[in-house]
Structure 1
Amino acid sequence: MSKSPIQNGLILFATTMFLFFVVYYFFANANYWEFTMKANAFVMPFVYTIGGFTSVYILRGKDFITFTQAFKQAFTTLFIGGFLSILSMFLFLNYGDTDARDLLNHQYISTEIKNLDTAYQQQKKDLAAIKNKDQAAEKSKELEKNYSDAKKGREAALQENRNYFSFSFLSAVFGGIILFYLLLSIVIAAFLKNKKRYE
């Protein structure tokens, strides 16, 4: 990495896509969605934390940097790496291997249905422990309605082959990721700044 946040962002982008294709090549099977989520939840935050930290650390070197300089360096690095990665994944899944996209969509909805069924069964057990029969009956009726509505919605998504990797969906996801970049950049900048702004 270098003092250039653009170059560092490109390195972060290359690293992200390498990991994306590792998961794609080795785990595009019955557990593709599960491995993808584990990578996003545990591996990618670590990679981006290291990337942002290293970018600011190299910029600082033996010199002095303010919070603003550190924040700008970290956020630019993270944003470039993340934006290019999301864009590349969108293009690959929607115009490259659409079978991989359909597999992920199917497994995502199937996982949602499975989680819904598990939660439903647990809530039924909890209702059985309620001693007040009228209260239990009322809550049971509400549970059945909520479960039925949620199940129908997910089954409809499954039948429609709804695309959860569309441009609009991934744009919304990236909006949430930007918040993570902002928070991470604030933490990194606060940790690595060694000069007051007006010194």
Structure 2
Amino acid sequence: MIAFFTDNSSDILLKTWEHFYISIIALLLGVIFAIPLGIFLSKTKTIAKIVLAITSVFQTLPSLAILAIMIPFLGVGKVPAIVALFIYTLLPILNNTYIGLKSVNADLRKTGISMGMTPFQSIWMVELPLAIPVIMAGVRLSAVYVIAWATLASYIGAGGLGDFIFNGLNLYQTELIIGGALLVTALALLTDFILSKVEIWTTPKGLKVEK
């Protein structure tokens, strides 16, 4: 394994950056899209059931199938990989945003409104801060998922650490497979650690739990 890291040091940096870039863009798009949608769905029960059911169906589709579907429309490379991974980030973030906002005590909402807050102010200043721990749990779950699934992006020429794994499979070189898998795992753990710190930073002091 030491030989793998010494012989591929420059490629490791490039592939790790490609893998992180693909994953983080997909995750950011998921956050930008899913959190506002989750807020909206928390106020519309009927539509929420339909949308959550649709996103659940997408979540059950095999990753390779989604990537293959992207090729006729977006070709190969990083763009179709990011779009496919974005689809996979939606359900955990959307579901947790919906659950987090729905779990906020109704009396707290009423208190905010009675103090003269608009519905938007109530969401921004009361409901979202209280729902942050649940929302961030969904973001962290999506981050781990998307880093793992980004390995398959290598199949459509998007690069990343999956190149090591698939080259190892094609060439019957175990060190490439294990080395690539270890790097993907390390990247996922590091990202989850960073997001755990973001969760602590964004959670209101009264809701923080020592970790």
Same fold (TM over 0.5): no
TM-score if structure 1 supplies the norm length? 0.35
* Greater relative contact order (CA < 8 Å, ≥ 6 in sequence): 1
TM-score (normalizing by structure 2): 0.34
